[in-house]
Copies of this chain bind each other. A is one copy, B any other.
Amino acid sequence: MTLDSRLSRMLHMLIHIDLHDGRATSETIAQMLGTNPVVVRRMMAGLREQGYVEAVRGPHGGWKLARDLADITVLDVHNALGSPSLFAVGLAVDHPDCPVERSVNAALGEIFEDAEARVTSRYGKITLADLIPG
């Protein structure tokens, strides 16, 4: 796949941890996603630093949720993943002094900012508890 699907996978992970008694090892999660435990730890690092999950070392350790799913929004997860921009389209900055480039970038930039604001606004209104199927 050419698109960055980390947000989707991370939400998937967190909800499964919750459904799994709030505890799961990197190994377990990795098998669930068909990937490697190290990849899971890398992805989890941002969420750990932001206080959404805690890592417990040693036997019977693993990941546990530091908050209720109802207290974590999709926006929280998005930000914790360090997503730089939502858009696959950016603005060229080849000639910052060119009036044409400035005009083009002003028009596109406004559209992007508006769309990004709408998406993050909706992200902020969805908690992970809302995503539990049922």
Contact = CB atoms under 8 A, between A and B. Distances in A.
Interface of A: 1-9, 11-12, 15-16, 19, 32-34, 74, 83-95, 98-105, 107-108, 111-112, 114-115, 118-119, 122-123, 126, 130-134
A55 B52 CA distance: 56
Secondary structure at the A interface, as helix, strand, loop or mixed, is helix
A89 B133 contact: no
11 contacts: A1-B90, A3-B88, A3-B90, A4-B90, A11-B104, A11-B108, A12-B92, A85-B88, A100-B131, A115-B115, A115-B118
A12 B104 contact: yes
A24 to B, nearest CB: 13
A126 B115 CA distance: 16
A67 B125 CA distance: 45
